[in-house]
Every structure is written in C-alpha cells, then in structure tokens.
Amino acid sequence: MPDIQLPPPVQRFVDATNRGDSEAFVDVFTDDAYLNDWGREFHGHDGVRDWDRTDNIGVNSHFDVVGIEPGPDADTVVVTMTVSGDGYNGTGPLVFGLRGDRIASLRIS
C-alpha cells in the first residue's frame, strides 16, 4: 500500500481507534461535532462517545486506510478505509469535515 498522508485530525482518529484509546478518539472531535452513520445521528462529545462505544472501539474496530481524495470543499476529505473487528467489516468512504486541528463532522454512508 502506498504511503498515504492524512490530515492530522484524521490520522489521530485512525490511531486512537487502532490502539483502542476512547479518550483520544473523542478528543479529536470538536465540542459541537456531528456524526452521521448511515442516517443514525450523534451530536457533540457525548454522541461521539456513544457511537464509539457501540460501533467503533467498543466493538474492536481496526482501520486500514485505502485512499484519500478532496471533498466538496476545502475543509472536507473523503477517506476510504477498510474496517475490521467485531462490528461492521468492509471497505467504504468516510467523509470528514475538519475545523482547525479537530473533526467537526463525520459522515459514513
């Protein structure tokens, strides 16, 4: 796999998940973050923490980055990842909206 340069917040998202660090995972999101996972919506750190527990670190997810491309605006990137673990397994795009050094939004569809 080629070396893929991720924006720092996305790299922290991947690293925190892969090492099972829920506090670091939640911390990479803005206080007012919005997460949409196939229509299920989560808001703020509490929502991100809930999603992490039920759909991410809580089910031993592991991310392998396959590719990255620009999103529809300057603060958005589309990262294709292969997910494995005890929950969802498969490859698909995650659309990250970035604000400064944090993730402001994440859409999985």
**Predicted model pTM:** 0.95
Which is nearest to 40 in space by CA: 93, 107, 89? 107
Which is nearest to 108 in space by CA: 49, 56, 44? 56
Residue range 8-108 in CATH 3.10.450.50 = yes
Listing DSSP states for 14-27 in one string gives: HHHHHHT-HHHHHH
| Alpha-carbon distances, residue 9 vs 23, 25, 48 (angstroms) | 14, 10, 15
How do the pLDDT tens digits run along the chain, 109 residues long? 456 799 999 999 999 999 999 999 999 999 999 999 999 999 999 999 999 999 999 999 999 999 999 998 999 999 999 999 999 999 999 999 999 999 999 999 8
Report d(CA 35, CA 33) in Å as an integer: 7
Domain ranges of the chain: 8-108
